[in-house]
Amino acid sequence: MPHGSFINMKIFLIGKNGQLGFFLEKTLRNNKFQVFSYGREDLDIENFEKIKSEIESRSPDVVINATAYHLVEQCEENPEKAFIVNAVAVRNLAKICKERKIIFVTYSTDYVFDGLLGHAYDENNEPNPLQVYGVSKLSGEFLTRNYCDKSFVIRTCGVYGGKLGSRSKKGNFILNIMKQAQGKKTLKISSEQIVSPTYAPDLAIGTLELLKKMPPFGVYHLVNDGTCSWAEFATEAFRKAHIKTKIIPIDRKGMVESVRKPLFSALKNKKAAKIGIVLPHWKDALARYIKYLSV
């Protein structure tokens, strides 16, 4: 644990402009942390020397990596890029943190699992990714833990938030289906994938709680409570937003543009719950998001 009170911890945040990074910065600043935050235009995660120099000049207590190459289809086409961002760059951060005795926080994904378990995965279940994206993120997990013993790997699922969503994905699931629904009576959404959609502000608060409680380092799952299919999630979103378009569930067998996706990749916050960190139910989170979008 860093010297001084928890409130005086200095946080070095990479990826401030992403869906999660935006709310991490906001949550940390609201809690009076000293935050050094960087977007891709400020600090390229692939530039090891620049990152190392910047961390050394700031001397933070915690480094949080909220960056990722998470376009699943593009990862298949650009595996080198996927591994550079999701594994090699993460290893470099872990090495710097180890050398300077800094706590390292990075994020992983439900896609490290194959979805064959039939119920929500906890931290003890064996990963078995089906595609390049999942393999690259699992590699990042292993490298984090191998290179930095003071690290938290936070697995999450279906992150959404903000009025613009993810820049690389040009939105998020909710924003995109709202656009697609305009002028349509029906909209087909996949029903076979069971997930734990997670609201970025709740994930940011969960991360802060993890740092406050400082449990043993390792892998933690942080998702909104409950599970649903994407079709159920869309139906609930349209009901709350009073959108009349009807959702038609469609079974795509977990295939999108020839990329295999896990069919049941919902996560269970087993370790976090034991230390009192519980995120709200996904329906509660979705209701807050729809209200946020309407303001």
Instruction: Supply the mean pLDDT for the chain.
Output: 93
Copy the structure tokens of residue 14: 């990479």
Average pLDDT, integer, range 133-155: 98
pTM, two decimals, is 0.94
List the chain domain ranges.
8-157+199-222
Torsion of CA 38, 42, 46, 52, to 10 degrees: -70
At 4 the pLDDT is 43
CA distance 170 to 24: 20
Please name the residues in contact with 13: beta carbons below 8 A apart, sequence gap of 6 or more: 21, 24, 25, 28, 35, 36, 37, 38, 64, 66
**pLDDT-derived band at 169, boundaries 50, 70, 90:** low
Reference 140, options 188, 88, 93; nearest CA is 88
How much is the average pLDDT of 145-173? 88
Q: For residue 72, which amino acid is it?
A: V
Q: Which residues of 5-19 are buried (b: 16+ CB within 10 A; e: fewer)?
A: eeeebbbbbbbbbbb
- Residue identified by tokens 């001084």 is 4
Question: Is the pLDDT at 257 greater than 90, yes or no?
Answer: no
pLDDT tier at 167, thresholds 50, 70, 90: low
- For residue range 40-99, list pLDDT tens digits in order: 899 999 999 999 999 999 999 999 999 999 999 999 999 999 999 999 999 999 999 999
What's the topology of domain 8-157+199-222?
Answer: Rossmann fold (3.40.50)
